[in-house]
Amino acid sequence: MSKQDEIPEAAGSVTYSLIDPNGYPLLYTVRETSGTEMLDAMSKISDRLKDEGYKPQEKGYPRKTKKPVEYADYPCPNCKSKVKKGETKDGKPFEACTNKSWNNQTRKYEGCDYFKMI
């Protein structure tokens, strides 16, 4: 009989998603025979992992930080509203009127049509 067959079913388990001190991702699973023992083990384990230099893995994709909206020094030539500056997905600068908005129902832009590539 193998050692694995001698281990009783775990009543509690936890898996940590970690980055080791060298930067490698890993999963670390701990099992205990009761939930109370598991909670006790978790507090000791998390302190030890931190002391050893392990860090938690971040879930999902890194969030993009939005740039603050920048406005032009002059009003829109069509409707006199504010003109915002921005960049296309390609990184090309543009100016557009703040009264321009996208309508999901009609699938068209509405409002002022001022738009200028810089």
Give the count of alpha carbons within 13 A of 56, CB side only: 8
Environment class of residue 97 by beta-carbon count within 10 Å: exposed (0-12), middle (13-18) or buried (19+)? buried
**Which pLDDT value is given to residue 93?**
94
d(CA 25, CA 65) in angstroms, rounded, equals 25
Amino acid letter for position 114: Y
| Structure token digits, residue 72 | 């032009």
Of the listed ranges 32-36, 62-66, 102-106, the one predicted with least confidence = 62-66
pLDDT in tens, 70-94: 999 999 999 999 999 999 889 899 9
| Structure token digits, residue 23 | 């930067």
Instruction: Break the chain into its structural domains and give their ranges.
Output: 9-56, 70-117
CB atoms near residue 112 (< 10 Å):
19
pTM given for the model: 0.44
